[in-house]
Amino acid sequence: MTVRAYFEVTKIPNFQPPFDTIFLKVFYPAVSVSTEEAKRSLSVPADAAKAPFPVVILFNGYNCEAFVYQWLAENLAQRGLVVVTFNFVAEEFAGSVNLSPGGDFAASKPDIYGTKPTSVTLSTLLFKLEQLQAQGVLAGLLDLQSIVLGGHSAGGRIAIENANPELFSQVVASFGYGVHSMGYIMQGYPPGTVLPLPDKLPMLLLAGTNDGVIANNSEMYGIESGDATTPVMRTWNEAITGGRNDNYVVLLEGANHFTIAHPLDSTTARNSVDFPATQPVDSIRWLIAETIGSFIGAYVQKQDGAFESLQQHLHDNSLVNSWHCK
């Protein structure tokens, strides 16, 4: 399947410039065109025969440009999905300007968490999708009632926290890599607090056994340092009730925090606190893509064989340290 992409831009209402603009890249399944056709147009038509397309919104980790997730976006688009990546530069604290997934820190505080979205970007992105449905290369081809939220690190947390049909009825599933739901003690949470997740939709949590960012940030959550997987597994055990057999946690042997980011920009990412990956990163990324793609295929696209493919990857790959479903 041919994958193409185009750029869009949108603004967050009531935000002050210049920190009010989101730059999007939209990946989609396209028809095959000849070289001569490609020379005549910058735009390639979508493959309407495979529509309507569910949409994946992919939230980046802090200071990780959207480009480092393009390998995953292309893989998912080849599976019949439209994937939106974006760059949003924000001054979330005075004097601190970062490339952000758009977290709403006020909404994450005690007594507020769970009552409103923890994202300042998601509502704007959903509205932009409605505009893309109305005009342009994807007009009339999107399944806007099948939105998947996914992400890495802080972006993964935004994805799994906001996969709540009571807040966003069009969201149907979520996934996150290198993510957990422990509360920040600087926001007033007691040490070791695990925040509940919506737990109403299919969810996939992926984490590496060599995640140095999680291990070295433990003091932010008031727990002992040095453990890459305890926050993830506590999230699995305490934040998710399950009962539908559509929630998964997968620990990937030897993967680190930035395995999902390729190529990694070492000038901005906090890779200095990460642990080295101890297994071939290309093989791990292949498994990440296959697991996410099969998960969406099974629970969103309802594709024949997708559930069996997901189970096979989890059971038969030596890079899977452990996995659980509930």
Q: What is the pLDDT of residues 174-223, one digit of tens each?
A: 999 999 999 999 999 999 999 999 999 999 999 999 999 999 999 999 99
Looking up tokens 């926050």, which residue turns up?
231
Under 8 Å between Cβ of 275 and 234: no
From CA 64, how far away is CA 47, in angstroms rounded? 30
Domain boundaries, the chain: 2-325
- DSSP sequence for 130-153: HHHHHSSTTTT-EEEEEEEEEEET
Q: What are the structure tokens assigned to 201, written together?
A: 């939709």
Q: Which of 123, 174, 141 is nearest to 54 (CA)?
A: 141
Helix axis angle, 281-299 to 306-316, nearest 10°: 150
From CA 199, how far away is CA 165, in angstroms rounded? 10
From CA 179, how far away is CA 285, in angstroms rounded? 16
272 — pLDDT class (breaks 50, 70, 90): confident
Average pLDDT of the residues in 32-46: 74
pTM for this prediction: 0.96
From CA 175, how far away is CA 313, in angstroms rounded? 16
Under 8 Å between Cβ of 179 and 149: no
240 — pLDDT class (breaks 50, 70, 90): very high
Architecture of domain 2-325: 3-Layer(aba) Sandwich (3.40)
**213-237: burial string, b at 16+ Cβ within 10 Å, e else:** bbbbbbeebbbeeeebbbbbbbbbe
pLDDT greater than 70 at residue 19 = yes
Q: Which of 55-64, 266-275, 287-296, 299-308 has the lowest mean pLDDT?
A: 266-275
Return mean pLDDT, the chain: 95
92 — pLDDT class (breaks 50, 70, 90): confident
39 — pLDDT class (breaks 50, 70, 90): low
